[in-house]
Amino acid sequence: MKRPIPPEDLLLNESELIDFMPAPELEQWILETFISEDGELYNEDHRHISPWPTDLFKVLWASSAFINAERMVLGQCEKFSPMAGGWRKARQEKQMLDWFNCVPKFIITIDAKYAATASDTDFCALIEHELYHLGAKRDEDGEYIVSQSTGEYKYELRPHDVEEFHGVVQRYGASPDVQKMVQLVNDEPTIGKAKIAHACGTCILKLA
Ligand SMILES: [Zn+2]
């Protein structure tokens, strides 16, 4: 299993107009690597994705990143929610059908140029960041809530665990959420570099 390489057309595209291409090979690699229980980097946190309906999420390559609030956005997970009404809704759904042969609940978009040069660790971290946004509602006991009408989990866009300003932490100290993040930073990463290299098909010897 090898980490998918983005299509050359997108990598060579220098136009300011961003182009997109469906990435079924990346979707497959994500399912096999992180979602399948036999996956090299299997993560139980995504288990609500595993009994996945095939239209739960689809993946797109973008020809470049975009800037939002002075930050470079390299990946994005969004809930597909077409504008209500007539042709506008139909047009947006048609685009999904043309790309994916279905109308997915979520779309994960990854910057192809970043993906082509990122380290295995950075690439995996970006992919899992986007996967963490693909959440499912839980009850007070932490059990996933099942929709009465569809029998599926109630999927939702999950917000980041920590949202804070440097200045607030500097002036007032760390909130419990920030403290938890600090504790996780101080612990060693739970995934070894060799495992990541294996999942990405990189030569293990290079790690020595
Ligand atoms: Zn995010």
Residue at 177 is within a domain: no
Residue at 169 is within a domain: no
What is the pLDDT confidence band of residue 180, given thresholds at 50, 70 and 90?
Answer: very high
Residue at 154 is within a domain: yes
Spacing, Cα 79 to ligand 1 middle (Å): 13
Residue at 115 is within a domain: yes
What is the pLDDT confidence band of residue 156, given thresholds at 50, 70 and 90?
Answer: very high
pTM of the model: 0.91
Report whether 116 contacts 63 (CB < 8 A): no
Residue at 171 is within a domain: no
Overall average pLDDT of the 148-159 stretch = 90
Report whether 112 contacts 11 (CB < 8 A): yes
What is the pLDDT confidence band of residue 51, given thresholds at 50, 70 and 90?
Answer: low
Spacing, Cα 205 to ligand 1 middle (Å): 33
Overall average pLDDT of the 185-189 stretch = 90
Spacing, Cα 51 to ligand 1 middle (Å): 23
Overall average pLDDT of the 139-146 stretch = 92
Residue at 164 is within a domain: no
Helix, coil or strand: residue 61: strand
Residue at 38 is within a domain: yes
Sign of CA dihedral 48, 140, 76, 187: negative
Number of domains within the chain: 1
The structure tokens 């999942």 sit at 199
pLDDT at position 206: 46
Residue range(s) defining the domain that contains residue 134:
8-158
What is the pLDDT confidence band of residue 71, given thresholds at 50, 70 and 90?
Answer: confident
Spacing, Cα 130 to ligand 1 middle (Å): 6
